[in-house]
Structure 1
Amino acid sequence: MKILKVNELVSIKRSIEAGTSEQLAVVKGIITEIRNRGDVALREFTEKFDRVQLPSFSVTESEIEEAYSQVDQEYIEIVREAAENIKSFHEKQLRPSWMTTEENGTILGQKITPLDSVGVYVPGGTAAYPSSVLMNVIPAKVAGVKRIVMVSPPDEQGKLPAAVLVAAKEAGVKEIYKVGGAQAVAALAYGTETIAAVDKITGPGNIFVALAKREVFGDVDIDMIAGPSEIAVLADDTARADEVAADLLSQAEHDPRACSVLVTPSMALAEAVAEEVEKQLAILPRKEIAARSIAEYGAIYVTADLEEAVETVNQLAPEHLEVITENAMELLGKIRHAGAIFVGRYSSEPVGDYFAGPNHVLPTNGTARFSSPLNVDDFQKKSSVIIYSEKALKENGEKIAKFARMEGLEAHARAVETRLKNDK
């Protein structure tokens, strides 16, 4: 890994995946076809991109039963325990609707309502992601969403991974479709004969999925346009080099564009971690992916002191931040920008990915400066409630009318004044 010295700029911000003009044209074409031809186009694109002809897009109960027979009981119990942890954490995020009554009799409040329907995209490709199922579905269920639809690209046998189907069943998903790519996003956004449209789409995917989510936003809501994974480790010389290296590689194996950065005031730790990364990389099953990631987006930044190290990670605003220092809890209050903060030696990033309970769908590419992890609020909407009293309108009506006229909106002013005249 590259070791950068004090005052050398380090940034994990990669170019936002805007896609090429050719990719965008493909996505727009797919969306148009799905909107115009529904299931027929969906079937054609599935055959073209996933290389399989499907008699039906729906996952059947028999396929789910088969999935359970293909995984061991220990995996099922682990999924159930992880699901319970995730549910427990997100239940603490629930907020009630509320009302307040003013002295003049006016009642003001906020009504919180779950979305009617949500579509969850679960990526396929180089790995199966049952954890993504849990992290997207469970907060939606906690929020009170009644209809949750899952889509995921099938393999060439027309199947979804058994581990993914088991996770979906355990999370309570009742609608599962074997479709992927931009065509799946379009189907969720606009509906087809088989798949009814939803109100919001969540979940990660490749560049075509990301571009499709960006295109349909406004007709439906989306969670975010997530970039490749990233981790920053803030550590001092009390950290173990082999553990830090393992954590850096845990993100590097995701994607060639994943980013792993160590920020430390210790040159001794920096050199030891650089050596350890190369040693562990040599025996990593996904070493080709991880090696590209480390070569292009991996770095070790050596700072003058711990204070500068803290400020550096705040500038980076990483998706995942590990704090492995002598008094790690003392630094927590100084961390302003990070998607998820893992404090202490035993809080390795995969603990959050799979089991602890907080959501692993996190802001990437520096967007932790202004955005948050996927949470219950993402699956609810808030309506303001205004019950204005007669007394309040008499007290404030002329003020409201004058404000309206300041904006040149005479009808607004008259709407209030009509009531004042009628009540004289």
Structure 2
Amino acid sequence: MYEASIDPNEKSFEILAFEQIGNNVYSQGQTIEVNGCQQTIDFTNEQVSGQQPSIDLSTPKIFDVKFMVGNGTKVSSSEITNQYVDGKPLTVSGIISTPTQLTHAELRYITVGHNPINYGTVAMEVTPLPITNSTYIITGTIPSEVMQSPAVQYWIHVENQAGKRSDSYQYSIGVKPSYPITGKLELDVSQNRAAGTTARPTAYFTSDNSAFGTISLVVDGNTVYTSPPQLFGSGQTAVSLQWKTQPTDQLSNHQIQAIANLYNDKFTANASITTFSSVKTVSILQPIQIDVIADKNGHTIANPKVLYSSFKNDGSMIFQVTAPDGTCVIGGTKDCLVQSSTFGLPGQMKSITIGDHIYRVRYSGSDNPLERFSITSVDPIIGQWKVEIDSTTNLLQQAQAMGDVVLKIKYEAERTPFISQGN
């Protein structure tokens, strides 16, 4: 057991865990954010368990890369933030684990969009950690005067005594330009969506000059997604956003807003999304009135496109499905359009026409232990439908079966793409 005291004012701290297996020493590092009185941290080194690809253990490893603008707060470089450089230096640090002595450490940087081979370098200060002779903290600072707008890309490069080299991931941060940022933000989104699915709106930022930043999606006042920091060139730039909607049985309206964070400038675009339950389950004991899902103003939100039902059949019962105009769609009598299984037909379905409406029917047949059907159409399936179970032997059994069977109605969103224009 290891114990260490922590200042009550600390908001975060670093932990390094070392494990020796044979002649090899493995290290794992992690930044711990203080959010409570206790927390379980897993430092299992997955690389040493199971069948793993060959790893060069003599190569230095880089982790826990952080940046700090001026004298501000250290932030993980892998974290999505809206921080940017404006006349202040950028300090970058990292932890290095290497089995042989670290001989060289430099911070590399280049203006985003420039040829990556023309990077600049800054020597990094190397400080050995007292707990081990194979781990170091390195720190380097890029002067503000060498960083050019719209953004700078930076990464750590290290070498050890064994002649092995490693580069960290490449990170980016905005550098505020001297020119003003002008432009407009638009949001392309389908206004109707089945609850529990993922909405993927697209934001479009149009500008006459280059900028760097993120676009966030805010739903009902809560930020649900922020895009990775990126370069917005002159002209129009599209950014994909996403939002996992919550399941609900109710019709729900949500106010959404896209916010482009470009240095200290913000551009917004607003829209709304209505979510609905994509499946309704209804008892077949009574005729079923099927309608579109509409909002309080009568605007169509979703259309019924699929009807489905099933029950366990002992061989003495059969579905009878009747359309709103009285046409027998599925049943055992000669006037029914579908009387037997469609599974041997092309596509395992039969197309039927009632009035000017075309339906596609899939039916298992009454001799199937799980008798089932589905009716689909490209047009809304509306009106009063009857789904019954006929029995050739036992009326009581028929009534019991109908009491246990339901019709499932699947709805599809009314397609109403919407582009909002903000400021």
Q: Common fold, TM-score beyond 0.5? A: no
TM-score, normalised with respect to structure 2: 0.25
TM-score, normalised with respect to structure 1: 0.25
Whichever of the two has the greater Rg, that structure is 2
Looking at secondary structure, tell me which structure has more strand per residue.
Answer: 2
